[in-house]
Amino acid sequence: GLVAGLEIWRHGHLGLGRVFVAMLVAGGLLAYPSVMAARALRLPVLNDISTDLDDPPVFSSTRSVVAAREGRIPPEIDRRRRSAQERAYPTIRTLVLENEPEEAFQLVAKAVKTLKWRVIEEVRPDDRRGLGRIEAIDESRLMRFRDDITIRFRWTGNETRIDIRSVSRLGRHDFGDNAARILKLVQEINNSAD
Residue 171 above 70 pLDDT?
A: yes
Question: Can you give the pTM of this predicted structure?
Answer: 0.82
Residue 3 above 90 pLDDT?
A: no
Whole-number pLDDT of residue 15: 66
Whole-number pLDDT of residue 14: 66
Whole-number pLDDT of residue 13: 64
Name the helix (H) or strand (E) containing 7. helix 2-11
If 0-12 CB within 10 Å is exposed, 13-18 middle and 19+ buried, where does residue 163 land? buried
Beta strands 95-97 and 132-139 are unpaired
pLDDT mean over 119-123:
96
If 0-12 CB within 10 Å is exposed, 13-18 middle and 19+ buried, where does residue 43 land? middle
Residue 64 contacts by C-beta under 8 Å, 6 or more apart in sequence? Answer: 120, 121
Residue 94 above 70 pLDDT?
A: yes
Residue 121's pLDDT band (boundaries 50, 70, 90)?
very high
Tell me: the pLDDT tens digits for 50-88? Answer: 999 999 999 999 999 999 999 998 888 777 778 889 999
Residue 135 above 70 pLDDT?
A: yes
What phi-psi label fits residue 67: left (phi over 0), alpha (psi between -120 and 50 degrees) or beta? alpha
Comparison of pLDDT for 173 and 93, the residue scoring more: 93
